[in-house]
Amino acid sequence: MPSARPGIILAPVARRDIREALKWSEEKFGSRAAQRYRALLKQALRDIAADPERPGWMERPELSTGARTYHLRFSRDRARASGPVRNPRHFLLYRRNDEGVIEVARVLHDARDLERHLPEDYRRNRVELERNED
Protein backbone atom coordinates (compact mmCIF):
# COMPACT_ATOMS: atom_id res chain seq x y z
CA MET A 1 0.00 0.00 0.00
CA PRO A 2 1.60 3.33 -0.98
CA SER A 3 1.96 6.22 1.41
CA ALA A 4 -1.28 8.05 2.02
CA ARG A 5 0.36 11.46 1.46
CA PRO A 6 3.80 12.86 0.72
CA GLY A 7 4.06 13.88 4.40
CA ILE A 8 3.97 10.29 5.60
CA ILE A 9 6.48 7.45 5.33
CA LEU A 10 5.63 3.81 5.96
CA ALA A 11 8.52 1.75 7.28
CA PRO A 12 9.00 -1.57 5.46
CA VAL A 13 7.80 -3.46 8.54
CA ALA A 14 4.66 -1.26 8.67
CA ARG A 15 3.97 -2.15 5.03
CA ARG A 16 4.33 -5.82 5.94
CA ASP A 17 2.01 -5.34 8.92
CA ILE A 18 -0.62 -3.87 6.58
CA ARG A 19 -0.29 -6.70 4.07
CA GLU A 20 -0.66 -9.29 6.84
CA ALA A 21 -3.69 -7.54 8.37
CA LEU A 22 -5.42 -7.32 5.00
CA LYS A 23 -4.61 -10.93 4.14
CA TRP A 24 -5.96 -12.12 7.49
CA SER A 25 -9.06 -9.94 7.07
CA GLU A 26 -9.74 -11.40 3.64
CA GLU A 27 -9.23 -14.98 4.82
CA LYS A 28 -11.38 -14.53 7.91
CA PHE A 29 -14.12 -12.16 6.68
CA GLY A 30 -13.92 -12.08 2.86
CA SER A 31 -12.76 -9.69 0.17
CA ARG A 32 -15.39 -6.99 0.84
CA ALA A 33 -14.36 -6.81 4.48
CA ALA A 34 -10.70 -6.57 3.45
CA GLN A 35 -11.60 -3.71 1.09
CA ARG A 36 -13.33 -1.90 3.94
CA TYR A 37 -10.30 -2.45 6.20
CA ARG A 38 -7.96 -1.16 3.46
CA ALA A 39 -10.11 1.99 3.16
CA LEU A 40 -9.98 2.42 6.94
CA LEU A 41 -6.19 2.05 7.02
CA LYS A 42 -5.83 4.62 4.23
CA GLN A 43 -8.13 7.03 6.07
CA ALA A 44 -6.20 6.65 9.34
CA LEU A 45 -2.95 7.40 7.49
CA ARG A 46 -4.53 10.46 5.85
CA ASP A 47 -5.83 11.58 9.22
CA ILE A 48 -2.50 11.49 11.05
CA ALA A 49 -0.72 13.03 8.05
CA ALA A 50 -3.18 15.93 8.13
CA ASP A 51 -3.03 16.29 11.93
CA PRO A 52 -0.62 14.10 13.95
CA GLU A 53 -2.30 15.34 17.13
CA ARG A 54 -5.86 14.71 16.03
CA PRO A 55 -8.36 13.43 18.61
CA GLY A 56 -7.52 9.86 19.50
CA TRP A 57 -3.73 10.05 19.34
CA MET A 58 -1.77 9.10 22.44
CA GLU A 59 1.72 10.19 23.35
CA ARG A 60 3.90 7.22 24.31
CA PRO A 61 7.09 8.58 25.95
CA GLU A 62 7.70 5.24 27.67
CA LEU A 63 8.36 3.75 24.23
CA SER A 64 10.60 6.38 22.67
CA THR A 65 10.99 10.12 22.26
CA GLY A 66 8.14 11.44 20.15
CA ALA A 67 6.38 8.06 19.93
CA ARG A 68 2.62 8.16 19.44
CA THR A 69 -0.15 5.69 18.80
CA TYR A 70 -3.44 6.17 16.97
CA HIS A 71 -6.15 3.53 16.94
CA LEU A 72 -8.00 2.97 13.67
CA ARG A 73 -11.37 3.25 15.42
CA PHE A 74 -10.91 7.03 15.51
CA SER A 75 -10.98 7.16 11.69
CA ARG A 76 -13.84 4.73 11.23
CA ASP A 77 -16.54 7.33 10.54
CA ARG A 78 -14.47 9.00 7.79
CA ALA A 79 -13.42 5.88 5.88
CA ARG A 80 -15.02 5.65 2.44
CA ALA A 81 -15.98 2.11 1.60
CA SER A 82 -19.04 -0.06 1.17
CA GLY A 83 -19.80 0.21 4.89
CA PRO A 84 -17.98 0.76 8.16
CA VAL A 85 -15.55 -1.59 9.82
CA ARG A 86 -17.50 -2.52 12.94
CA ASN A 87 -14.64 -3.36 15.24
CA PRO A 88 -11.22 -2.23 13.98
CA ARG A 89 -8.44 -3.82 16.01
CA HIS A 90 -5.23 -2.12 14.82
CA PHE A 91 -3.32 0.97 15.75
CA LEU A 92 -0.51 2.96 14.16
CA LEU A 93 2.81 3.53 15.94
CA TYR A 94 4.36 6.71 14.58
CA ARG A 95 6.42 9.81 15.25
CA ARG A 96 7.29 13.01 13.47
CA ASN A 97 10.87 13.30 12.18
CA ASP A 98 13.02 16.46 12.19
CA GLU A 99 11.55 17.55 8.83
CA GLY A 100 7.99 17.23 10.15
CA VAL A 101 7.27 14.07 8.14
CA ILE A 102 5.21 11.40 9.90
CA GLU A 103 7.05 8.08 10.07
CA VAL A 104 4.76 5.10 10.67
CA ALA A 105 6.88 2.40 12.26
CA ARG A 106 4.28 -0.33 12.84
CA VAL A 107 0.62 -1.18 12.30
CA LEU A 108 -0.20 -3.59 15.10
CA HIS A 109 -3.19 -5.49 16.39
CA ASP A 110 -4.33 -3.97 19.66
CA ALA A 111 -3.96 -7.29 21.50
CA ARG A 112 -0.22 -7.43 20.77
CA ASP A 113 2.42 -6.49 23.31
CA LEU A 114 3.61 -3.22 21.84
CA GLU A 115 6.96 -3.14 23.62
CA ARG A 116 7.81 -6.58 22.25
CA HIS A 117 7.21 -5.34 18.69
CA LEU A 118 9.06 -2.02 18.88
CA PRO A 119 11.32 -1.23 15.93
CA GLU A 120 15.03 -1.22 16.69
CA ASP A 121 15.43 2.56 16.39
CA TYR A 122 12.68 3.04 18.99
CA ARG A 123 14.48 0.57 21.31
CA ARG A 124 17.80 2.38 20.89
CA ASN A 125 16.19 5.71 21.66
CA ARG A 126 14.53 4.27 24.77
CA VAL A 127 17.85 2.90 26.06
CA GLU A 128 19.43 6.34 25.56
CA LEU A 129 16.56 7.94 27.50
CA GLU A 130 16.99 5.49 30.37
CA ARG A 131 20.73 6.19 30.51
CA ASN A 132 20.12 9.92 30.68
CA GLU A 133 17.69 9.47 33.59
CA ASP A 134 20.38 7.76 35.72
Per-residue confidence (pLDDT) for residue 132, from 0 to 100? 60
Please list the rounded mean pLDDT of every run of 10 residues in the chain (134 residues): 64 96 95 93 94 92 90 89 84 92 94 80 63 58
Q: Starting from the edge strand earliest in sequence, which strands make up the sheet with 8-10, in order?
A: 8-10, 102-109, 90-96, 68-71, 57-59
Q: What is the pLDDT of residue 4?
A: 42
What domains can be seen in the chain, in order of their start residue? 8-133 (3.30.2310.20)
The pLDDT of residue 108: 95
Q: What local confidence, expressed as pLDDT, does residue 79 receive?
A: 82
Q: What does the pLDDT read at residue 92? A: 97
pLDDT for 2: 45
